[in-house]
Amino acid sequence: MQQSKKNRFWKTFFIFNLTILIIITSFVFGVVVGEETEKERGISNAGGLVLNKDELPDYLSKDADFNLFWEAWDIIQDSYIDRPISETKLLYGAIAGQVASLGDPYSIFMEPKTAEEFAQELTSEFEGIGAEIGIKNNILTIISPLPDSPAEKAGLKAGDKVYKIDDADTTYLSLDGAVRLIRGEAGTKVILTIFRDGQDETQKIEIVRGRIHYETVKWELKENNILYIKISHFNQDTADLFGQAIQENLGKNLQGVVLDLRNNPGGFLGIATDIAESWIKKGDIIVVEKFSQNNKNYYKSRGRAELAALPTVALINEGSASASEIVAGALQDHGLATIIGKQSFGKGSVQDLRHLSDGSNIKLTVAKWLTPNERMIDGEGIAPDIEVELTEEDYSSDRDPQLDKALEILND
């Protein structure tokens, strides 16, 4: 009797939470790159269109029967070898499976501890190896190692394909699962088996995890008053640090600006648009958020444009993704910068981060990013105006032909 009551309680609890989850995921409003938008806006047909209906298998076209779910729940609870099983564990697994069924590597469910670690990472301080990872062509890939991080010091590079994390094969591993395996306490070790384009075989890289703290903006005044600004992430402190760099140098008869977005995996949309406004005049489009063909949101500059008159070169590479692609694409479309380097990563989807009542999160893809001229970023990336390679030999010898080319253009 008691067990029956308990089961009814958990079924009621689960249905309530699942209903709330369905409401959230069905009527979600647009938010971006890990940050909720600063304003509410309605989205017509938020659930999107179902294409190729005729091609759906019959069993996927039927109405959902939640009795089937409870049949599976009861079988597990009654028959699994390692009973008893935590109902919360099953609940989290069910929600994670629901999100994973979308087949989108950037839509994930985060349990409370993972959600807390994710929030810490966005404050520029966390424990781990210090590398941004993503899924590209269905392969776990290093988007970029952070400057001076354990990952960078161990030799990881943007574009490295990760085939194993310690002994775990990554072929069918979700992005969230990979993050869980790679993260860990400072002082512990993880071994990544990677493949690098141009090499004949995989290699193992041992990395000692550390406490990661990094400044997202560094600057230097180059010869002939060329201001070099390196942005490694668009995090909470980035706009203030960037603003300080500009204010310290505007009165120095600047002759040009190099904006280095190489190995910048992205961050907050609001911070990226703040940075772009230093070049883009009031009312001009910075980025377009596309929910459907007829449902788009246009982010426009509020118009400081204090750097608009200065010749500018932006540097990008395979590790430039998301928010950094938004900035580079906006400057390119408006003719405000020459883009130098290599084709960027191509991560142009919009994730809406929603906080659930117990501290867990759902990060859900709700839209795509387009440049001001409505070029697709996702899967395409930003092509440089001038392609310049930075080879392994250059890297090992502390040469930077991409930066050299930028300075050459600005000094002509």
Half-sphere CA count of 49, side-chain side, radius 13 A: 7
- The per-residue pLDDT for range 229-274, each reduced to its tens digit, is 999 989 888 999 999 999 999 989 999 999 999 989 898 899 999 9
Same domain membership, residue 244 and residue 197: no
* Residues 296 and 394 placed together within one structural domain of the fold: yes
Residue 75 belongs to some domain of the structure: yes
Say if residue 142 is in the same domain as residue 2. Answer: no
* 325 CB neighbour count, 10 Å cutoff: 28
The answer to whether 299 touches 285, Cβ cutoff 8 Å, is yes
- Written as one letter, the residue type at 1 is M
| Final residue of a structural domain among 161, 191, 213 | 213
Q: What is the pLDDT of residue 74?
A: 93
**Three-state DSSP class for residue 365:** strand
Determine, yes or no, domain membership for 116. no
Residue 115 in domain? no
Same domain, 304 and 385: yes
For residue 301, pLDDT over 80 is answered with: yes
Among 195, 213, 231, give the residue marking a domain's end. Answer: 213
Q: Say whether both 246 and 378 belong to one domain.
A: yes
pLDDT at residue number 248? 95
Q: Which of 322, 324, 344, 349 is catalytic?
A: 322
Q: Domain check: are 209 and 225 in the same one?
A: no
- Residues 176, 94 share a domain: no
User: Is 313 within a domain?
Assistant: yes
Residues 256 and 281 in one domain: yes
Let me know whether 129 and 72 are in one domain.
no
Per-residue pLDDT band for 75 (boundaries 50, 70, 90) equals very high
| 394 phi, psi to nearest 5 deg | -60, -50
- Asked if 351 is an active-site residue, the reply is yes
pLDDT grade for 40, boundaries at 50, 70 and 90: very low
What residues make up the domain containing 39? 1-110+215-412
Beta strands in 306-360, from DSSP E residues, in sequence order: 312-316, 338-341, 349-355
CATH number for the domain harbouring residue 381: 3.90.226.10
Quick one: 256 and 403 in the same domain?
Answer: yes
Residue 120 located in a structural domain: no
Catalytic residue among 174, 351, 360, 402: 351
Confidence of residue 283 (pLDDT cuts 50, 70, 90): very high
236 is catalytic: no
Check whether 294 has a pLDDT greater than 80. yes
Q: What is the pLDDT of residues 9-22, one digit of tens each?
A: 344 333 334 333 33
Measured distance CA(350)–CA(30) in Å, rounded: 8
Percent of the chain clearing pLDDT 70 (strictly above): 84
| Mean pLDDT rounded to a whole number for the chain | 83
How many structural domains does the chain have? Answer: 2
pLDDT of residue 81: 94
Residue 382 tokens, joined = 């930003």
* Alpha helices in 214-268, H assignment, sequence order: 238-249
* Mean pLDDT confidence for 337-355: 93
> Known catalytic residue: 322?
yes
Asked whether the predicted pLDDT for residue 102 surpasses 50, the reply is yes
pLDDT band at 150 (very low <50, low <70, confident <90, very high): very high
